[in-house]
Amino acid sequence: MVFAIGVDIGGTKVAIALVDQQGEISEQTKIPTDTSIDPKQMIEKIIESIEKLISAADISITEILGIGIGSPGPLNSKAGIITHPPNLPNWRDIPIVEQMKAHFPIPIVLENDANAAAMAEKWLGAAQANQDFAYMTISTGIGAGLFADGKLLGGSRGNAGDIGHTVIDPAYGQCPCGQYGCLEYIASGTAIANRGSAIAGKQLTTQEVFALYQQGNKDITAYIEDVFRILGVACVSLINTFDPEKIVLGGGVSKVGEPLFAKVKEYVSSYALNPAGRQTEIVPAQLDQNAGVVGAAGLILGE
Q: In total, how many domains does the chain have?
A: 2
Residue 118 domain-assigned (yes or no): no
pLDDT, position 303: 60
Residue 154 domain-assigned (yes or no): yes
CA distance 61 to 65: 8
Residue 119 domain-assigned (yes or no): no
Query: Is there a contact between 143 and 161 (Cβ–Cβ < 8 Å)?
Result: yes
Expressed in percent and rounded to 5, the helix, strand and coil fractions of the chain are: 45, 25, 35
Same domain? For 233 and 137 the reply is yes
Same domain? For 101 and 25 the reply is yes
Residue 50 domain-assigned (yes or no): yes
Q: Which residues of the chain have pLDDT under 70?
A: 303
Same domain? For 97 and 224 the reply is no
Residue 117 domain-assigned (yes or no): no
Same domain? For 294 and 280 the reply is no
The model's pTM is 0.90
Residue 280 domain-assigned (yes or no): yes
Same domain? For 163 and 34 the reply is no
Query: Is there a contact between 80 and 96 (Cβ–Cβ < 8 Å)?
Result: yes
Same domain? For 36 and 143 the reply is no
Range of the domain at 225: 126-284
Same domain? For 184 and 156 the reply is yes
Query: Is there a contact between 147 and 197 (Cβ–Cβ < 8 Å)?
Result: no
Same domain? For 26 and 64 the reply is yes
3-state secondary structure of 192: helix
Q: For residue 242, give the nearest of 265, 274, 267, 204 by alpha carbon.
A: 274
Residue 277 domain-assigned (yes or no): yes
Helices 206-214 and 189-200 meet at what angle, rounded to 10?
60
CA distance 52 to 29: 9
pLDDT in tens, 183-200: 999 999 999 999 999 999
**CATH number of the domain residue 88 falls in:** 3.30.420.40
pLDDT, position 140: 85
> Which stretches within the chain are classed as H helix?
39-57, 96-101, 113-124, 183-187, 189-200, 206-214, 218-242, 258-271, 291-301
Residue 120 domain-assigned (yes or no): no
pLDDT, position 266: 98
Same domain? For 268 and 159 the reply is yes
Q: For residue 287, give the nearest of 249, 239, 246, 253 by alpha carbon.
A: 249
Query: Is there a contact between 229 and 266 (Cβ–Cβ < 8 Å)?
Result: no
Same domain? For 176 and 61 the reply is no
Query: Is there a contact between 298 and 22 (Cβ–Cβ < 8 Å)?
Result: no
Same domain? For 16 and 144 the reply is no
Query: Is there a contact between 68 and 104 (Cβ–Cβ < 8 Å)?
Result: no
Same domain? For 14 and 43 the reply is yes
